[in-house]
Structure 1
Amino acid sequence: MSSSTNLGGWVNKAGVWSSSERRDWFADDAETILHWREKPTGRHIEPGIAEVNLVSLLGELGATWSRWGEPLLPIGVLYDPFVERALEPWSYGIYTGGQSVLVGTPSGVSLAPEGGAHQSIKTPSIGLEQPGCVTYEPAFAIDTEWTLLASLGRLGRPDGTSAYLRLSTRPVDQGLAEVPSDPAARERRRRQAVAGAYTLRRTREPKATIAAMGAVVPEALAAAARLEQLGVPADVVCVTSPDLLYRAVRARQGHEEAEPWILDQAFPAHRATPLVTVLDGHPHTLSFLATINRVPTTALGVTRFGQSGSLEDVYRHHGLDEDGIVRAALDATG
């Protein structure tokens, strides 16, 4: 699991935990990229392809704050579609006070060449609906840093929570994030990213809004650029946490204790337009966003088993490509 989830850098730096030091039989191989050094001071624990063992360990490590007064910051990494294999013990561990961070990567049909067996569809809903857990699906590296740090900050406390980060290995142009250079504006972006969403592209007089999450944000930006040429200027909102946005909606309705301020900043009422939501997962995950300002909406996502192919072909097959988003926006505003 360590190599397939791209943990080589962490393993090389932290070492692999073992009750006693073991000989590295490949230490003299200059071409070895992953160095498997097993020793008592190692910080990486390798359960192998055994997801239930992994989340059971996370539950135990995540409960040390209440049992022994020594909080740990356990992070578990597994292939995102296999979250479903470990769902019951993961949920039970959270229920009994185990606070940890679970990272599912790679995720979605963005893992195009590996076919349907490795392409997760329902996991965004799992993260959104799991009690005692905050879920994030960031699109950019800086958002991943901010949300991971926020998740770690919630661990090991009486009022703490676990976190689930759904990530992708798809290469994304980091320049698209357009992170503000002004310190105040940068801090505002950070607060919004941690709270669930921020405006990534803002037009003068929008006729449509595209709310995109995770790996498909580049397609949303490309679609907005083409819509501009077609006379349908569109704002683009980058969603980082459908979970926190849904809690904010429920708080506004008086059903939950949460801060709804993020809704006013990411989806201000005076800029309300027909909405297109898009993610690499089941479309109902973001469909509730239309209730914020009660606007017409089209929800794009994945509702069928995955297919093997190029990323472009697979996105086109599921309607997640630039053309699919443009069509949806034109239909919503027509």
Structure 2
Amino acid sequence: MFIHAAYEKKWNRTILSILWLVTFIAFICHALITELLSDPFSHPFQNHMLKDGTPAYFMAIAMLLLLELVIRKFSSWAHLALIAASHILSCMLVLYLYRDIHVAPVTFVFPLLVTCIFFRPLYLAVSVPVSIAELMWVFWETPPFDIPAVIAIIIVSSIIAGSYLAGFGVIARGKMLVQSLQRSIESEQELLIQNIIMDRMSKMDPLTGLYNHKSFQEYFDKLTSPEQSKAFPFQLAVIDIDNFKRVNDTYGHAVGDIALKQVASSIQEHMEPNDFAARYGGEEFVVLLHEPSVEAAYSKLERIRKQIARTPIDEMNRLPVTVSIGLHAYTGQESKVDCFAKADGALYASKNEGKNRITVL
């Protein structure tokens, strides 16, 4: 909406600038015509302009100044005001300045150009009879109203009507192009969304909603690369569900999947935007934390461990599962393999020491 309003304001400003330019050019042309056609002895240039042209230009300038106020303070009326001003300016140019020039009534095509810019057929439909009425009024005000004048009215009216029909064609064609562009944009957006979905599906574990093994390896590679290792210190935790084979054997694999989802949910609940959690495989998870110290990382993992241990699973007779965790703080000097081996070794230490605990190595 904001962008649309900004474009509307820009076009209103452009049209008003065109009206100022047309008025200025008309003044210059009228001055030149007056100078060339006036008798310098009986009709001095300045007196002729003061009598014939100056009042019209004062009215035109006053109208344009009023338009400046309208488009700045009453923008909802800007369209109608600009179209009305184009009609009034055309009448002034023909009636007060160029009444002796036979092709001057063609000036009534000018409102067509202004109206077409807004791409609204209703505006154009109203402008057609208004322009023809203005044409007849101008001929009526500039006698003689004879057979040649009637022929001129018919010819100019035909030109105006034909021009306005062409304007309808321009608007219709423009709408077709806009619709075609919108369909193209919608198709591109749908393709983009599909690509995003496919990309996400390729990175996510479908059961738990965490990242998958491949995504973890890619991110882990970046964090341990020589370019990033010192810039982004982190802690690696390997989490394993205790006695998971017993869960599957006792309650079935469907209940095992429920346990996996619940553990993943507890992990995800404590993740911050900079953290990274993934299902490594089977009942094993990995978490990359960006805490300021290993103590802060341990505190976060302890909250996760306790939440999992006290959350009953209905399908397991409301018994919870527990997890063992191995934690290692990356030093920036070791390889990716060594880093993971230490975290994994800490996990096995937790298992050997009784499970449902965290070991830091």
TM-score (norm 2): 0.21
Q: Which protein has greater RCO, CA pairs closer than 8 Å, 6+ apart?
A: 1
More helix by share: 2
Larger Rg: 2
